[in-house]
Amino acid sequence: MTLTIYQWHQRYQQQARWTQNLRYYVYEQVEIKSSHRILDVGCGTGVILDELTHLSPASLFGLDISLEALSISKRMSPLSLDTQADALHLPFRSASFDISLCHFVMLWIQKPLLALQEMVRVTRGGGFICALAEPDYGGRIDFPPELSEIGIWQTEALREQGANPQMGREMRALFTGAGLQDIEVGVLGGQWRKDAASGEFELEWEVIQSDLQYKKEFVEGASELKTLELSSRAKQQRVLFVPTFYAIGKVNR
């Protein structure tokens, strides 16, 4: 199965729920309430832009390579100014923004340092660059261990799609390489207080099926794996942790 843009929109909303506390911490560090112009690189369907409309009086700008995603973004955040473009060639003047940020984007970019350098270029001196969330599947933890194959296969699938599944651990080096100052890098913690709602799980499983639809071992064992997944959740045993990094840097210009 291939996910529709509306399913991806649900996925982006799900990811945003996972990282909400982390984003709010980052927003405080970069004084988002006093910013005038903010750029969201790889804005997708506008989930983060919609959040920012409620948190900052700034003029908001979204950029994504997908027109289909931007059509939803415009409905999510009608006051933002959205542009279809490549993150490696931002169509903005230098020093145009107070903050340039991204969320689950760098892992998909073939030349992440160049993308960061472009974000630095369009951000004023003293402004901030923020990577709100970048996962690192190399540190994934699965329990029960019988479910660890799913993580291994998803990591392989991400590589096959052109992504870097270990982008998280590279963020500090990338921010340093881009010439940023006062760099802060951290990892989102993991907490397991209650099981996800059934709708949340089904969405997660749809993503797994989409990623692994061509993986013979998964297709043949999918039903058994899903049963084990549901059983471990029902018994309050399931632990799944993918280290998710954030990074903040100040433009020195």
**pLDDT by residue (tens digit) across 52-104?**
999 999 999 999 999 999 999 999 999 999 999 999 999 999 999 999 999 99
Q: DSSP 3-state helix, strand, coil percentages of the chain (rounded to 5)?
A: 45, 20, 30
Q: Give 213's DSSP letter.
A: T
pLDDT for residue 153: 94
Strand partners, 246: 186
Claim: this prediction has a pTM higher than 0.75: yes
pLDDT at residue 197, as a whole number: 65
Between strands 123-135 and 97-102, the pairing is: parallel
Q: What mean pLDDT is predicted for residues 28-47?
A: 96
Helices H / strands E in the chain, number of each: 9, 9
pLDDT exceeds cutoff 70 at 198: no
Cα separation values, 36 from 20, 102, 119, 198, 247, Å:
22, 17, 16, 40, 21
pLDDT of the residue at 195: 65
The dihedral built from the CA positions of residue 72, 73, 78 and 82, taken in this order, carries a sign that is negative
Whole-Å CA distances, 116 to 100, 107, 131, 152, 243: 9, 12, 9, 29, 21
Q: Which two tokens stand for residue 163?
A: 């992504």
List phi, psi (to 5°) of 242.
Answer: -115, 110
Q: Half-sphere exposure (CA, 13 Å, Cβ side) for 99?
A: 27
* pLDDT tops 90 at residue 119: yes
Q: Which two tokens stand for residue 133?
A: 């969330």
Mean pLDDT, the chain, rounded, equals 94
Q: How far are the Cα atoms of 58, 100, 152 from residue 55, in angstroms, in the given order?
A: 9, 15, 38
CA atoms of 223 and 83, how far apart (whole Å):
42
Please check the confidence at residue 242 and state whether its pLDDT lies above 80: yes
Lowest mean pLDDT of 102-116, 120-134, 135-149, 206-220, name the range. Answer: 206-220
Residue 204 confidence (pLDDT): 87
Rounded distance between C-alpha atoms, residue 38 and residue 129, angstroms: 10
Kindly state the DSSP code that residue 72 receives in the 8-state scheme.
Answer: H
pLDDT of residue 196: 61
Is residue 152 very low, low, confident or very high in pLDDT (cuts 50, 70, 90)? very high
Mean pLDDT within 211-237: 90
How would you class 216 by CB atoms within 10 Å of its CB: exposed for 0-12, middle for 13-18, buried for 19 or more?
A: exposed
pLDDT above 80 for 192: no
Q: How far, in whole angstroms, is CA 122 from its chain's centroid? A: 21
Helix (H) or strand (E) holding 39: strand 37-41
Given a contact cutoff of 8 angstroms between Cβ atoms, the answer to whether 55 and 33 are in contact is: yes
Residue 1 has pLDDT above 70, yes or no: no
User: Are the C-beta atoms of 249 and 129 separated by less than 8 Å?
Assistant: yes
User: Which tokens belong to 174?
Assistant: 């990338």
Domains of the chain with CATH codes? 5-137+163-194+242-250 (3.40.50.150)
Residue whose token pair is 């991806």:
8
Q: Residue 253: is its pLDDT beyond 90?
A: no
